[in-house]
């Protein structure tokens, strides 16, 4: 609840995913500058800047979004300010739930600077919902294009990234790493003998075996989950279609 003669406190929310960082105009610095300028024009006080750089907008599982939600529940600000609805989420359901179940019951609102709309009016909420629908549609298109690209690379015998114990990526193709392949073989042989995931992990760790590492980060000890993941990996089981 706002107090008379007090400047509304705004929580500035910034987000870019890894891919969006490559696009001009989506930088965190640009978002912050735009939102601070908007606060000056509207007479808002900047309460805090919440920055989720490198996180996807597919859900709310982001560190600073969770921090923002905690501060909202403690009534620390009046407004959540973002440059676009898709900065909050690319799921329209999540956006509307955020507005209806988190902000509005506490007398708070969502404001979108580039459109100069807020969720406290029926018109503003309608446009926020509409923009959220477009953001969700755009995300589905992106996911579809990425999936097709990955399928095309796979059909050409190329890897789609990631690190796989027993293989090295050379010019986009998987090449067997003999030393690591021996570990994978041992894991499958131990499982065939009836050994459990925990037992296999313990035996490998006692021998000093490690998971897949990189040039800058060495492999780690085997966990139960690491063993289980290897045993169901399609690259090893040969069930890839």
Whole-number Å distance between alpha carbons of 77 and 2: 9
Whole-number Å distance between alpha carbons of 215 and 220: 13
Task: Find the catalytic residue in 17, 91, 113, 119.
Answer: 17
Each of the 241 residues of the chain gets a pLDDT tens digit; together they read 555 578 999 999 999 876 555 454 568 999 999 999 999 999 999 999 999 988 888 889 999 999 999 999 999 999 999 999 989 998 888 999 999 999 999 999 999 998 899 999 989 889 888 877 766 666 566 555 655 554 454 455 444 445 677 777 666 566 778 888 888 889 889 989 998 999 999 999 999 888 877 656 677 888 888 888 888 876 666 554 4
Full DSSP string of 182-228 = HHHHHHHHHHHTT--HHHHHHHHHHTT------SSS------HHHHH
The answer to whether residue 169 is catalytic is no
pLDDT of res. 92: 87
Is the pTM above the cut of 0.85? no
Whole-number Å distance between alpha carbons of 9 and 71: 12
pLDDT of res. 211: 85
pLDDT of res. 118: 93
Alpha-carbon distances, residue 132 vs 15, 127, 137 (angstroms): 15, 8, 9
Whole-number Å distance between alpha carbons of 210 and 204: 8
Domains of the chain: 9-143 (3.40.50.1390), 167-237 (no CATH)
pLDDT of res. 130: 83
Given its phi and psi angles, is residue 192 left (phi above 0), alpha (psi -120 to 50 degrees) or beta? alpha
């Amino acid at each position: 609840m706002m107090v008379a003669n007090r400047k509304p406190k705004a929580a500035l929310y910034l987000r870019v995913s890894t891919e969006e960082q490559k696009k001009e105009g989506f930088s965190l610095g640009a978002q912050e500058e735009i939102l601070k300028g908007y606060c000056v024009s509207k007479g808002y006080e900047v309460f805090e800047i919440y920055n989720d750089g490198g996180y996807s907008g597919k859900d709310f599982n982001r560190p600073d979004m969770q921090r923002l939600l905690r501060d909202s529940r403690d009534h620390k600000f009046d407004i959540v300010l973002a440059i676009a609805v898709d900065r909050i989420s690319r799921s329209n359901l999540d956006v509307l739930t955020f507005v209806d179940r988190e902000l509005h019951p506490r007398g708070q609102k969502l404001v979108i600077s580039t459109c100069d709309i807020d969720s406290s009016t029926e018109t503003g909420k309608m446009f926020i919902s509409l923009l959220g629908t477009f953001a969700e549609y755009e995300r589905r298109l992106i996911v579809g294009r990425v999936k097709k690209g990955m399928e095309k690379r796979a059909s050409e015998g190329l890897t789609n990234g990631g690190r796989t114990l027993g293989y090295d990526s050379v010019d986009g193709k998987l090449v067997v790493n003999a030393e690591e392949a021996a570990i994978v073989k041992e894991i499958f042989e131990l499982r065939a003998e009836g050994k459990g995931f925990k037992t296999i992990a313990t035996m490998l760790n006692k021998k000093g075996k490690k998971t897949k590492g990189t040039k800058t980060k060495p492999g780690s000890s085997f966990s139960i989950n690491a063993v289980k993941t290897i045993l169901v990996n399609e690259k090893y089981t040969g069930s890839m279609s």
